[in-house]
Chain A
Amino acid sequence: MTALRHTWQVALRYIRALLRQPAWVGISLTQPVIWLLLFGALFKRTADIPGFSGGSYIEFLTPGVVVMLAMSSAWVGMGFIEDINRGTMDRLLVSPIWRGALNLGSVAQSVLSLVIQSLIVIGLSLAVGAHFHNGIAGVAVLIGVAGLLGAVFASLSNGIAVLARQRETLIGIVTMATLPLTFLSTALMQQSLLPGWIRWAARFNPVNWAAEAGRSAAGPDADWGLIATRAGFLALLLLASAAFATRAFNAYQRSA
């Protein structure tokens, strides 16, 4: 009960702060649209490659864009660094707040943003003629696995933020990690068209787990076994990364 109430208070704080920044709201709402339309136009001819199965590229791309949006959660730790620098974090750490709430509240905020962005992308995709073959259930699974991935990235980001306490370090790590993780996955390209070594590397890439599961849930022949295992991997990874983010405060205390 206390844990839940504290988590909600932390989430509420971040949500309110973001809603008060019209620029942030505007950008968050248009960014998914730009991605979908830009990538959709850039890679349109991909659907013509022999071996590409399924319908239009937009239909293929939509789950990929949802997963890429989830990766934006990797920036969430910037909020932690700001809190640390201005003293808000110390005020919370000398209070009896449940330590897990600090990370989970911030994760909740980023997952909520992701859900809204995902719904925009999916709505737009439907509007330009894409099909989601398993209806609302398929869409829910897609958003669910993307949410798990987003929560993993947010937790890792928060943990790194607490340990590094420097914007530059976090910016460096996120910038370095996100692009390779995107391209070592099926987010933008069908698996059978990937080079062999990328296909191999993708098996260990959480971004690919989410992309595979999300696309399968949205596609014509959903493989529920695959969806369950990938979602399971992501859930385990989330447990580990949330534990990491919360335990990072111990190291913070030792060096404070």
Chain B
Amino acid sequence: MKTIEASNLRKTYGGGVRALDGLSFTVEEGTIFGLLGPNGAGKSTTVKILTTLSRPDGGEARVAGLDVVRNPERVRRSIGVVGQKHGLDPEATGRENLEMQAEIYGLVGSARRERVEQLLERFGLAEAAGRIAKTYSGGMQRRLDVALGLVHQPKVLFLDEPTTGLDPEARVELWREIERLAGEEEMTILLTTHYLEEADRLASRLAIVDRGRIVAEGTPDELKSELRGDTVQVELLESTNGAATAALSHLAGVSELAIDGRLLRARVDNGAAAIPSLITTLERAGLRVASATIARPSLDDVYLRHAGRSFQQAHTNTKEVAA
């Protein structure tokens, strides 16, 4: 069964910023689906539309079988949302935060009390339950955010860049929790992230979003195996543009050449065999090599291939579009 269906979503913000340009994907029940892309690619806008926070200009979306535009009230009852920003109230205690959320979803009396205590315990917040949330560490605040999204035991959970700003330890801890939600609790989870390793580890399927459209979709392994061979990365002593391209364009077995300042990346069939001739060719063209490395295909390469630029590059070049 398809729990989330987005088809041909379009959204343009004031000022003509096109956030979504015909974005489509579906998510199977009980799986974790990752939307991967740099800031401004359209991930957050997609989540906002699917969670009824924003309306699309065109296209359709269904969550848990309900149309998000025609049935927002019922969609809201079936989803849990952990937004990019903190949703918690920093002036209230952890317990008060959860109590209010429980009341909103119609949990009262002993049902409310039990659920709140259960969540505090499970997210390691029981001891800090009586403290004002703004005194919590970043990891604790994030855990409270997630707990708030789970109060009503939703079937579908949206996590919009859940680990941004967390330290590595807290990040791994949250990853484990997300895996448990999908595993033991059989939730359907839509996760957006700009961390490649996060998408690789958590998502059973993922889609790469660039400039408001999906440019590639599949399991992490499928996406990676689309790429034959290895990636070679060469660092030059001085920055170059035309010279390196000209020198290497004639070399057999080299494809998808990309140059960014002193950094040169290319795809080759066999990295170990290609490096000597690569270096010789470059030096012959008067370009001195500082270092050379070989890497197995990563999601970054997948991204580079489909979005036409490296992830890091897209990340720093794209300005955040309306968060």
- B-contacting residues of A (Cβ < 8 Å)? 2, 5-6, 9, 12-13, 16-17, 20, 86-88, 90-97, 253-256
Q: Does B101 contact A (CB under 8 A)?
A: yes
Q: Report 24 cross-chain contacts, Cβ distance below 8 Å, ordered by A residue.
A: A2-B106, A6-B103, A9-B100, A9-B104, A12-B100, A13-B100, A86-B86, A87-B83, A88-B87, A88-B89, A90-B53, A90-B83, A90-B85, A90-B87, A91-B148, A94-B53, A94-B79, A95-B104, A253-B52, A253-B53, A253-B55, A255-B13, A256-B53, A256-B54
Complex partner residue of A95 from B54, B55, B105, CB under 8 angstroms: B105
* Interface contacts beyond A2-B106, A9-B104, A256-B48: sample of 13 additional A-B pairs, CB < 8 Å, sorted by A: A9-B100, A9-B103, A13-B89, A13-B100, A87-B84, A87-B85, A88-B89, A90-B87, A91-B87, A95-B101, A96-B73, A96-B104, A253-B54
Chain A binding surface, main DSSP class: helix
With known contacts A20-B91, A256-B54, A97–B86 Cβ distance under 8 A: no
Q: Does B64 contact A (CB under 8 A)?
A: no
Q: Are A87 and B86 in contact (CB under 8 A)?
A: yes
Complex partner residue of A91 from B48, B81, B92, B106, CB under 8 angstroms: B81
Interface residues of B in 104-143 (CB under 8 A from A): 104-106, 108, 132
Q: Are A88 and B105 in contact (CB under 8 A)?
A: no
Count how many chain B residues have C-beta atoms less than 8 Å from C-beta atoms of the other chain: 33
Q: Are B91 and A6 in contact (CB under 8 A)?
A: no
Q: Are B105 and A20 in contact (CB under 8 A)?
A: no
Q: Report the bound CA distance from A90 to B77 in whole Å.
A: 15
Shortest 5 CB-CB contacts between residues of A and residues of B: A91-B87, A87-B85, A17-B91, A256-B54, A96-B76
In this complex, which of B87, B88, B104 has the most chain A Cβ atoms within 10 angstroms of its Cβ? B104
Q: Which residues of the partner chain B approach A93 to less than 8 Å between Cβ atoms?
A: 52-53
Chain B binding surface, main DSSP class: loop
Q: Which residues of the partner chain B approach A17 to less than 8 Å between Cβ atoms?
A: 89, 91-92
Q: Does B67 contact A (CB under 8 A)?
A: no
Q: How far is the CB of B248 from chain A (nearest CB, A)?
A: 47
Q: Which residues of the partner chain B approach A94 to less than 8 Å between Cβ atoms?
A: 51-53, 76, 79, 81, 83
Q: Which residues of the partner chain A approach B168 to less than 8 Å between Cβ atoms?
A: none
Q: Are A16 and B84 in contact (CB under 8 A)?
A: no
Q: Report the bound CA distance from A103 to B251 in whole Å.
A: 68
Q: Report the bound CA distance from A20 to B52 in whole Å.
A: 33
Q: Are B86 and A13 in contact (CB under 8 A)?
A: no
Q: Which residues of the partner chain A approach B54 to less than 8 Å between Cβ atoms?
A: 253-254, 256
Q: Are A97 and B104 in contact (CB under 8 A)?
A: yes
In this complex, which of B91, B92, B108 has the most chain A Cβ atoms within 10 angstroms of its Cβ? B91
Q: How far is the CB of B164 from chain A (nearest CB, A)?
A: 12
Q: Report the bound CA distance from A91 to B108 in whole Å.
A: 20
Q: Are A86 and B104 in contact (CB under 8 A)?
A: no
Q: Report the bound CA distance from A41 to B205 in whole Å.
A: 74
Interface residues of B in 193-225 (CB under 8 A from A): none
Q: Are B86 and A6 in contact (CB under 8 A)?
A: no
Residues 26-65 of chain B, each 1 if its beta carbon lies under 8 Å from chain A, else 0: 0000000000000000000000100111110000000000
Q: How far is the CB of B82 from chain A (nearest CB, A)?
A: 9
Residue of B at shortest CB range from A91? B87
Q: How far is the CB of A253 from chain B (nearest CB, A)?
A: 6
